[in-house]
Amino acid sequence: MRVVVQRSLDSYVSVNNQITGKIDNGLVILVGFTLDDDENDINYIVKKIIGLRIFDDENGIMNLSIKDINGSILSISQFTLYADTTKGNRPSYINAMKGEYAIKLYEEFNNKLKENDINVQTGIFGAEMDVHIRNDGPVTILIDSKVR
């Protein structure tokens, strides 16, 4: 499982010109799954995201977590995080988990975040989405559950 975590001042996602998810202060998380991901990967990533101290404290030091600032999360499914670009110029997505399986893990991931009292907004899995991110900092972090 891979996620790209971006600190955001405000962001939203729309499908067919209809906003499906919107947050103010918090995190935008692009979420991708690979073939052998399971609940252990989700648990690892959720724990990391909740514990990340990437928000400024009163001294301007990145020392606060998403829970410390009572922030929200905009979660966007993103199979292209598993693009393989080693051969040629057209990416291969053979390592991305197929949608029918990935949607179950994606929903479980979002539910586990919600179980930690975090407001989670989403796009629509598998839809063509228009994502507007106002990255704060910019702060962008990549987390891979296979790299521990």
- pLDDT tens for each residue of 76-118: 999 999 999 999 999 999 999 999 999 999 999 999 999 999 9
When divided into structural domains, the chain yields a total of 1
Give pLDDT, residue 66.
Answer: 98
Give pLDDT, residue 69.
Answer: 98
Catalytic (active-site) positions: 80
Summary mean pLDDT of the chain:
97
What is the DSSP pairing of strand 18-23 with strand 62-64? unpaired
CATH number at residue 129: 3.50.80.10
Distance CA 135, CA 26 (A): 10
Give pLDDT, residue 118.
Answer: 98
**CB atoms < 10 A from the CB of 90, how many?**
7
**CB atoms < 10 A from the CB of 101, how many?**
12
Q: Which domain holds residue 72?
A: 2-144
pLDDT band at 49 (very low <50, low <70, confident <90, very high): very high
